[in-house]
Chain A
Amino acid sequence: EVKLVESGGGLVQPGRSLKLSCAASGFSFNDYWMGWVRQAPGKGLEWIGEINQDSSTINYTPSLKDKFTISRDNAQNTLYLQMSKLGSEDTAIYYCARPLGAWDYWGQGVMVTVSS
């Protein structure tokens, strides 16, 4: 069974950084692209970006490229999202997912709240 479990969320002050993790199991992690999507409270889905199998290609939505960094550790079957200079607009549920064109498996999401 494919499982994606996000962690690392919580309350963070404006301007600070936070790193999310996504632990993958049930499939050969190093054979797949992985990515992140977020959803602000009461809003729609926003594509953040994706990373390929050996981390040689990472695509971001342009508005987040200078704030967010996607990485992965294939030995640990874990995907990461490093977020910096956080603002209130980054308050959202962050989902990791597996993109095969379409995103076929999603984690349950982790909440990040940016507030003083």
Chain B
Amino acid sequence: DTVLTQSPALAVSLGQRVTISCRASKSVSTYMHWYQQKSGQQPKLLIYSASNLESGVPSRFSGSGSGTDFTLTIDPVEADDIANYYCQQSNELPYTFGAGTKLELK
């Protein structure tokens, strides 16, 4: 299985730029996607295929990377962005999720 590794948590200040990383145990090309999940809600797609912004998602979100290393950037961070963020690969079955990064306020 392709294992996706994310940092468990990141502390940020409002208005800052933050990057959330996701490293794959093998190349996934650009078949990497990012989701935001707020407490008590279902996940929401933010970025698909590494760098494509999902319709309706604010432009302060962006994604980059290919192969094994990917980043989700939020610039600037707003209060509404405090949530858990998950990466997911769809390059190889079984499709897997990272364990998630919890974005917290400093």
**Chain A interface residues toward B at CB < 8 A:** 37, 44-47, 49-50, 59-62, 95, 99-104, 106-109
Contact = CB atoms under 8 A, between A and B. Distances in A.
Interface of B: 1, 31, 33, 35, 37, 42-45, 48-49, 54, 86, 88, 90, 93-100
**Top 8 A-B residue pairs of the complex, sorted by shortest distance between their CB atoms:** A102-B48, A102-B33, A106-B42, A61-B94, A45-B97, A44-B100, A101-B90, A44-B99
A87 B35 CA distance: 28
A103 B94 contact: no
Contact of B94 (A62, A100, A101, A106): A62
B60 to A, nearest CB: 19
Nearest to A106: B42
B49 to A, nearest CB: 7
Given A95-B42, A106-B43, A107-B42, A101 B31 contact: yes
B17 to A, nearest CB: 24
A95 B88 CA distance: 15
Contacts of B37: 45
Given A102-B48, A102-B49, A102-B88, A44 B97 contact: yes
Given A47-B88, A59-B93, A99-B90, A104 B43 contact: no
